[in-house]
Structure 1
Amino acid sequence: MDGQLLPVLLLLLLRAWGPRGQGTGPGGSLEEPPKEEVPEEVPEEDGILVLSQRTLGLALQEHPTLLVEFYAPWCGPCRALAPEYSKAAALLAAESARARLAKVDGSSAPELLEEFAVTEYPTLKFFRDGNRMHPEEYTGPREAEGIAEWLRRRVGPSATRLEDEEGAQALIEARDVVVIGFFQNLQDEDVATFLTLAQEALDMTFGLTDQPKLFQKFGLTKDTVVLFKKFDEGRADFPVDEELGLDQGDLSRFLLTHSMHLVTEFNSQTSPKIFAAKILNHLLLFVNQTLAPHQELLAGFGEAAPPFRGQVLFVVVDVGAGNNHVLQYFGLKAEEAPTLRFINMETTEKYAPEDGGLVTAASVAAFCHAVLSNQVEPYLVSQEVPPDWDQRPVKTLVGKNFEQVAFDETKNVFIKFYAPWCAHCKKMAPAWEALAEKYKDHEDIIIAELDATANELEAFAVHSFPTLKYFPAGPGGKVIDYKGSRDLETFSKFLDSGGQLPAEKPTEEPTAPFPETPANSTPGPKEEL
């Protein structure tokens, strides 16, 4: 029996194994070896590569220089950036630039968010030479030309190599501000520092040279960075320290300072540069540019500026050009122009001259010297005390009556510090009114509010809205920060307990941050994931 079964078993085994040792698939057919997956093409949308976890590697192989935006469809700042991003892609495509723009929907690619530590939208990262490991964080402009120029400076030379006088003169005449580095050895470390700065300073045009004839042409004998400009003194030199070399931070501050006009008019275009200059002292002349007598004051104001370059920034604010937020910040009304104000941006201390309407070169210079030598006392902005400030259940406080009311030792004072534009403040307003109505007959309790955008306090600064503080009766000027829920019941328990929250864990409700004043200079809004 066993001798008869053996040949049959061998035959079945051979059929199962198939030729050359390969198994058979369903129905007895030979199973083909798995095929390698053919790489797919990277899809595009409006000239922008649309990436995923699968296609990022392929995109980096095909396009070694890549700027990638991580976005989400629901993100407002992402939607605002989208048209500018598309325009930048079109600009680069028209130039046949080596750089490409791409985007990743982070909500559908969580692995990439984790790999590249993306925590907010939009986040942009720059990949160079196909290197996936260490992308550079993009911190440049959010408008089309700025994005394109940022990439141009990275894929091409950030400074034009100058060989002769004709090329140098053409570069200088082409732009209002041109920076040329004169280096005797282009392999020196200082040149690398210069080129790195040139990548970032997108609003200036850069050149460099090692030609002795150009050193001679511009009167130079050693390595120097020269800023040429078509205004004010026309030229500013930054000699390279022979021992310490070229410091990028020092050069950056020098270029920012000297690329600005001695007198800068404040507007939406110039405000970012005003704050980026890192000059802490600002002198502002408030004028109405439509009035001839006001325009005549500009000459004397500008005449006083040169000795203070780098120490005091001279700024003109046109009170008739939509600058109400600046007027409010300084506690001014348009009809008070012409007048001067001085501010230290670090301390936010403000100064006013004794005769605010006198603007001559001599008076402006004298005022600057007096402030810088601590001969002038700063002032605090305050509205006037309303005649009916205490007639409503919610009392109206301003800077001029704040201390008298808040630190009254016979009263328990609960104050809301708000901003008129703050949505959180508006939301809690009914509860605050109801609280004041409830306690209006308690002689020892005052419910009050103060517009912190129009009034400054010596006791403390307010940085977010609404801020709630409780000033209990008694000596010592004690202040308690309120961090509880913003509803009538919790407010009442807080007051009835003498300034203590209920036993439950305090809740930190949303606040609106105090905006940078007089202007915001951040590169662009973002939303957290």
Structure 2
Amino acid sequence: MDSWLLSVWLLLLLGASGLWGQSPGPGGPSEEPWKEVPEEDGILVLSNRTLGLALRDHPALLVEFYAPWCAHCKALAPEYIKAAALLAAESATARLAKVDGPSEPELTEEFAVTEYPTLKFFRDGNRTHPEEYTGPREAEGIAEWLRRRVGPSTTRLEDEKGAQALIDAQDVVVIGFFQDLQGEDVATFLALAQDALDMTFGLTDQPQLFQKFGLTKDTVVLFKKFDEGRADFPVDEELGLDQDDLSRFLLTHSMHLVTEYNSQTSPKIFGARILNHLLLFINQTLAPHQELLAGFREAAPPFRGKVLFVVVDVGADNSHVLQYFGLRAEEAPTLRFINMETTKKYMPADQGLVTAASVAAFCHSVLGGKVKPYLLSQEIPPDWDQHPVKTLVGKNFEQVAFDETKNVFIKFYAPWCTHCKEMAPTWEALAEKYRDHEDIIIAKLDATANELEAFPVHGFPTLKYFPAGQGQKVIDYRGARDLETLSKFLDNGGKLPEEELSEEPLAPFPETAANSTVKPKEEL
């Protein structure tokens, strides 16, 4: 009997201690604690349960929040894997990790992830203040971004041999000459060096190096193997070193006076923060066109920092640039000027020979406000008014839209826009429904090929209603895009009840001429 009671007590104790896999208390079944974080292709695969362990074990951790359905995440994936391999080959302390956002809602909420992919850098296990990753999306750029955060972002230079070796090693080298390496200006310089990944940085306080390069006070010097070879940025003795001013200086002077446009140079062209661009369109396979480059380059130096001189080869894969400026390849050689902030475009009045003098005169005329911008327009189609939906272009827009005897409903669209394609049958049906109403016109305008100064279009499709009568205000349509609601809008003279107003999705207007500096993301 005693032995039987003893056995019962032992069973109860074993059960209470959880040795049979039962956990006490109201928290439910316990989960086996993770001893290590799983990996996939050299990348740590994190969850809400393993993030803390990863932060504890890895003092420098770059985490990608992704979604399995996200196209931009899929494009990043192979580069992310390559970057992990590069860092592993170097035995770097930095590691890459990833989180499946939709599967880990607690983490996406904790780190305010609103779009994919989102990358955050965690240093020294700090979970509360990660740094937002804004670097490149290719393997070497990702690896270099991390290298400059976990290691020195600059090379300390002690003698002439070391300085010259650094200058000779790269096309563009930036050296900070500071008499006191503990000052705030040096901290500013180092912070900038962390992010300027396409430049190599050095740092020195050695008097003999000041003397060798002809310096008497703190200066940042950009050495380059092209154009003028060197550009100096003296540090203001009273105000100190301003990071934004230095960044702008380095971007401006690290570029060639004349840059050829291609997929490799376009990010730098659009990232240069120079608003005015002068473009020379030539065919690089033709000797007479190549001869024009000398005069174009000769005109460039006085405009350094004010106008970016760009060459576009019409014989290369640059049709999108030609289309943006409304040009055909056979129109080369020719010049075009654009202000990137206003997107206003200019052409020379005299399309004669491109010389240093004519290029400089054209720049001065545009900058001085003596040249009017031009607007793109297609030619008026012969049958523009022969179908239920009338076809408008820049050249006939005002004639139709501002006809005081007509109510004109216009769809501004882009040929590539998915939303526009989806509503096209509805727009045709609307036009067919009202084709016998003499006072109503249903029209469309390709806003990528026709520009209207008074009506800038920022998304597609954009619907605008031009009421009949004098001095009427143009109405932006904000309702649903179905036939019934559109019909109700027309029948009510361009009005909808408040409860039927809605915001349908728009495709954003594309960035100017293949602007690839903005990293693509997809919203949750």
* Equivalent-residue separation in structure 1 for 2:69 and 2:324 (angstroms): 35
Q: Is the 8 A contact 1:141 1:523 kept in 2?
A: no
Q: Residue 421 of structure 1 corresponds to which residue in structure 2?
A: 416
Q: Residue 458 of structure 1 corresponds to which residue in structure 2?
A: 453
- TM-aligned CA deviation for residue 197 of structure 1: 0.3
Whether 2:321 is the aligned partner of 1:336: answer no
Q: Residue 138 of structure 1 corresponds to which residue in structure 2?
A: 133
* Equivalent-residue separation in structure 2 for 1:347 and 1:525 (angstroms): 23
- TM-aligned CA deviation for residue 32 of structure 1: 5.0
* Equivalent-residue separation in structure 2 for 1:236 and 1:28 (angstroms): 80
- TM-aligned CA deviation for residue 74 of structure 1: 2.2
* Equivalent-residue separation in structure 2 for 1:257 and 1:237 (angstroms): 12
- TM-aligned CA deviation for residue 29 of structure 1: 6.4
* Equivalent-residue separation in structure 1 for 2:335 and 2:472 (angstroms): 35
* Equivalent-residue separation in structure 2 for 1:468 and 1:230 (angstroms): 53
* Equivalent-residue separation in structure 1 for 2:82 and 2:374 (angstroms): 47
Judge which range, 38-47 or 280-289, deviates more: 38-47
Whether 2:471 is the aligned partner of 1:476: answer yes
Whether 2:286 is the aligned partner of 1:291: answer yes
Whether 2:23 is the aligned partner of 1:26: answer no
> Cα gap change, 1:235/1:495 in structure 2, threshold over 3 Å: closer, same or farther?
same
Unaligned runs of 5+ in 2: 24-29
> Cα gap change, 1:27/1:335 in structure 2, threshold over 3 Å: closer, same or farther?
closer
Q: Residue 173 of structure 2 corresponds to which residue in structure 1?
A: 178
Equivalences, count: 513
- Residue type matched to 1:512 in 2? A
Q: How does 1:150-161 map to 2 (within 5 A)?
A: 150-161=145-156
- TM-aligned CA deviation for residue 487 of structure 1: 2.3
Q: Residue 195 of structure 1 corresponds to which residue in structure 2?
A: 190
63, 66, 69: which one aligns with 2:64: 69
Q: Residues 90-147 of structure 1: CA distance to partner in whole angstroms, max 9, x if unpaired?
A: 0000011110111112223222222222222211111111222211111111110110
226, 232, 236: which one aligns with 2:231: 236
Q: Does the residue aligned with 1:315 lie in a helix, a strand or coil?
A: strand
- Residue type matched to 1:192 in 2? A
Q: Residue 446 of structure 1 corresponds to which residue in structure 2?
A: 441
430, 435, 438: which one aligns with 2:430: 435
- TM-aligned CA deviation for residue 478 of structure 1: 2.0
> Cα gap change, 1:340/1:27 in structure 2, threshold over 3 Å: closer, same or farther?
closer
Q: Residues 439-474 of structure 1: CA distance to partner in whole angstroms, max 9, x if unpaired?
A: 222221111111100111122201111111110100
- TM-score of the aligned structures, taking structure 1 as reference length: 0.93
Q: Is the 8 A contact 1:52 1:104 kept in 2?
A: yes
Q: Residue 27 of structure 2 corresponds to which residue in structure 1?
A: none
- TM-aligned CA deviation for residue 388 of structure 1: 2.2
* Equivalent-residue separation in structure 1 for 2:45 and 2:327 (angstroms): 51
* Equivalent-residue separation in structure 2 for 1:107 and 1:493 (angstroms): 40
Judge which range, 241-250 or 375-384, deviates more: 375-384
Q: Residues 172-228 of structure 1: CA distance to partner in whole angstroms, max 9, x if unpaired?
A: 111111100000110011001000000000000111100111111111111000001
* Equivalent-residue separation in structure 2 for 1:440 and 1:254 (angstroms): 60
- Residue type matched to 1:227 in 2? L
107, 112, 124: which one aligns with 1:129: 124
* Equivalent-residue separation in structure 2 for 1:502 and 1:247 (angstroms): 54
Q: Residue 509 of structure 1 corresponds to which residue in structure 2?
A: 504
Whether 2:385 is the aligned partner of 1:387: answer no
**RMSD of the alignment, in Å?**
2.1
> Cα gap change, 1:43/1:412 in structure 2, threshold over 3 Å: closer, same or farther?
same
Q: Does the residue aligned with 2:201 lie in a helix, a strand or coil?
A: strand
Q: Residue 5 of structure 1 corresponds to which residue in structure 2?
A: none
Q: Residues 13-66 of structure 1: CA distance to partner in whole angstroms, max 9, x if unpaired?
A: xx89x9xxxx94535769659899765111111111111222211112211111
- TM-aligned CA deviation for residue 70 of structure 1: 1.3
- TM-aligned CA deviation for residue 437 of structure 1: 2.0
Q: Does the residue aligned with 1:126 lie in a helix, a strand or coil?
A: strand
Judge which range, 422-431 or 67-76, deviates more: 67-76
Q: Is the 8 A contact 2:270 2:517 kept in 1?
A: no
* Equivalent-residue separation in structure 2 for 1:425 and 1:33 (angstroms): 62
Q: Residues 412-449 of structure 1: CA distance to partner in whole angstroms, max 9, x if unpaired?
A: 11111011111111111111112222222222111111
Q: Does the residue aligned with 2:501 lie in a helix, a strand or coil?
A: coil
* Equivalent-residue separation in structure 2 for 1:175 and 1:206 (angstroms): 10
> Cα gap change, 1:38/1:511 in structure 2, threshold over 3 Å: closer, same or farther?
closer
Q: Residues 462-492 of structure 1: CA distance to partner in whole angstroms, max 9, x if unpaired?
A: 1111111110100014211111222222222
Q: Does the residue aligned with 2:175 lie in a helix, a strand or coil?
A: strand
* Equivalent-residue separation in structure 1 for 2:94 and 2:262 (angstroms): 33
- Residue type matched to 1:26 in 2? L
Unaligned runs of 5+ in 1: 1-10
- Residue type matched to 1:75 in 2? C
- Residue type matched to 1:64 in 2? P
Whether 2:205 is the aligned partner of 1:220: answer no
35, 39, 46: which one aligns with 1:44: 39
Whether 2:329 is the aligned partner of 1:300: answer no
* Equivalent-residue separation in structure 2 for 1:390 and 1:280 (angstroms): 40
* Equivalent-residue separation in structure 1 for 2:324 and 2:464 (angstroms): 23
* Equivalent-residue separation in structure 2 for 1:328 and 1:472 (angstroms): 33
Q: Does the residue aligned with 2:322 lie in a helix, a strand or coil?
A: helix
* Structure having the higher Rg: 1
Q: Does the residue aligned with 1:245 lie in a helix, a strand or coil?
A: coil
* Equivalent-residue separation in structure 2 for 1:28 and 1:456 (angstroms): 83
Q: Is the 8 A contact 1:424 1:465 kept in 2?
A: yes
Q: Is the 8 A contact 2:467 2:474 kept in 1?
A: yes
Q: Is the 8 A contact 2:271 2:517 kept in 1?
A: no
Identity over aligned residues, as a percent? 83
* Equivalent-residue separation in structure 1 for 2:378 and 2:402 (angstroms): 19
232, 252, 257: which one aligns with 2:252: 257
